[in-house]
Amino acid sequence: MKILALETSCDETSAAVVKDGKEILSNVVASQVEFHRKYGGIVPEIASRKHIEVINPIIKEALDKANITFKEIDAVAVTYGPGLVGSLLVGICAAKAIAWSLGKPLIGVNHLEGHIYANFLNSKSEILNPKSRFAGSRNTLEYNNNEAGQIQNSKSQIPKFPFVCLLVSGGHTLLILVEEHGKYRTLGRTRDDAAGEAFDKIARFLGIGYPGGPIIDKMAKEGNPRAVEFKRPMLEKEYGYDFSFSGIKTAVVNQIRNQKPVTSNQIADLVASFQQAIVDVLVEKSIRAAKEYRCKAIALAGGVSANSALRRELVARAEKENIAVHIPPVEYCTDNAAMIGCSAYYELKANQISDFRLSPVASLKLG
Ligand code: KG4
Ligand code: ZN
């Protein structure tokens, strides 16, 4: 079963060919980040125009890399929301045209579901776990200790149901209980900024570049995460699993205005403290949810999963609770079409096929 998948919900144009819901035959991603950088954020009009320019060559490249022709495709999958309407429309129109002309099924995929399914791809994703957990218990897989003393599986392994998925990107911050294929419960979401958005906005305010997440991650390594004490928002039980990041963002902005950090050390301390506040909240709520819902695994998804402090601290906390942490390789954490092809495979298996009236849904929800 070979699925051609398209993803154009935001500022990445991507096409992939995925076999049997797990094997990535190709995954081509064209990032537009250079075109949006000077604006410090994504300009929707530019995004949709750029998608139109590159979608056809990207599809061709994905087929060529997979070494197949259109005729060998069994189904066409495409993201239909959430995202920017003008961007989504480009992928949807292309997918419809291909599916229609080939007489193959069209499968509309929820982008958020796609992010979760990045954890089901055969992509040498990491399972980070206490060594003791595996001792003698899973002899079908070979585990190699990596430098950090963590365990990395040499073959792909998918999270066991039920698991908690922390989906953190530039547009979303969600804590999801994944009970089985296609069965999700959103436990909490951000009430204002997404985690990645907070990183991007602080970086923009400091004038240190775009996108802010990777830049702050790198700078924070030189700083003291305890230098400035920012409040950890909404950790009290009454807020459940919701998040809020705009308060931290304002506190950081006020700190910058009052203290005027000028040296690279001062800026490093500030961004390290900001990052630590965000990571503490994400980790605490993920662990709490896994324990409450008796999950033995936490899966990460979305661009912010690339954050080194988040990975390190989630793994450290999970280890103490005997919970496995699944983290797809960075290229499958950020927007890509392979995750859409993977999600579509399970929809096709459940006979969930779209009709040709499929339209973009900008604020599509999960479940
Ligand atoms: O999933 P993604 O590629 O796109 C969507 O937003 O859907 O995520 C992009 C976001 C940006 O906000 C970027 O700053 C953030 O992920 N990001 C990071 C890191 N790498 C990317 N945030 C924190 N630390 C990182 N290392
Ligand atoms: Zn995304």
Q: DSSP for 310-367, please give it.
A: HHHHHHHHHHHHT-EEEE--HHHHSS-SHHHHHHHHHHHHTT--B-TT----TTPPP-
β-bridge mates for residue 24, sequence order: 18
Residue-level pLDDT at 127: 58
pLDDT tens series, the chain, 367 aa? 999 999 999 989 999 999 999 999 999 999 888 888 888 788 899 999 999 999 999 999 999 999 999 999 999 999 999 999 999 999 999 999 999 999 999 999 999 999 999 999 987 655 555 333 332 222 222 233 332 323 333 234 899 999 999 999 999 999 999 999 999 999 999 999 999 999 999 999 999 998 999 999 999 999 999 999 999 989 888 999 999 999 999 999 999 999 887 799 999 999 999 999 999 999 999 999 999 999 999 999 999 999 999 999 999 999 999 999 999 998 999 999 999 999 999 999 999 999 999 999 999 999 7
Using alpha carbons, select from 286, 338, 327 the residue that is nearest to residue 109: 338
pLDDT at 128: 56
Q: Whose CA is nearest to atom 18 of ligand 1?
A: 213
Alpha helices (H) along the chain: 33-37, 44-66, 85-102, 111-117, 131-134, 195-206, 212-220, 246-259, 264-292, 308-321, 330-333, 338-349
The CB of 302 under 6 Å from ligand 1? The reply is yes
Report pLDDT for 259: 84
Q: How far is the CA of 83 from the centre of ligand 2 (A)?
A: 8
304 lines ligand 1 (CB under 6 A): yes
Instruction: Please give the distance of CA 51 from its chain centroid, rounded to a whole number.
Output: 20
Q: Which helix (H) or strand (E) holds 304?
A: none
The residue behind tokens 């990107």 is: 169
Residue 136 pLDDT: 27
Tokens of 116: 């979760």
Ligand nearest to the CA of 307: 1
Question: Which atom of ligand 1 is found nearest the CA of 306?
Answer: 26
In eight-state DSSP terms, residue 9 is S
Ligand 1: which residue has its CA nearest to atom 22?
A: 213
Distance 18 CA to ligand 1 centre (A): 24
304 alpha carbon to ligand 1 midpoint, in Å?
4
CA distance 12 to 243: 26
pLDDT at 261: 77
How far is the centre of ligand 1, averaged over its atoms, from the C-alpha of 232 (Å)? 21
Contacts of 163 (CB under 8 A, 6+ apart): 178, 290, 295, 296, 297, 298, 299, 326
List Cα–Cα distances, 201 to 108, 158, 195, 197, in angstroms.
32, 34, 10, 6
Per-residue model confidence (pLDDT) at position 36 = 86
Q: How many residues does the chain have?
A: 367
Taking the alpha carbons at both ends of the chain, their separation in whole angstroms is 25
pLDDT at 123: 78
Cis check: omega of the bond before 261, within 30 degrees of 0: no
Residue 301's pLDDT is 95
Alpha-carbon span 257 to 238, nearest angstrom: 32
Ligand 1 mutation pick, 12, 206, 334, max ligand atoms within 8 A of CB: 334
Q: What was the pLDDT predicted at 125?
A: 57
Respond yes or no on whether the N-terminal peptide bond of residue 328 is cis (omega within 30° of 0).
no
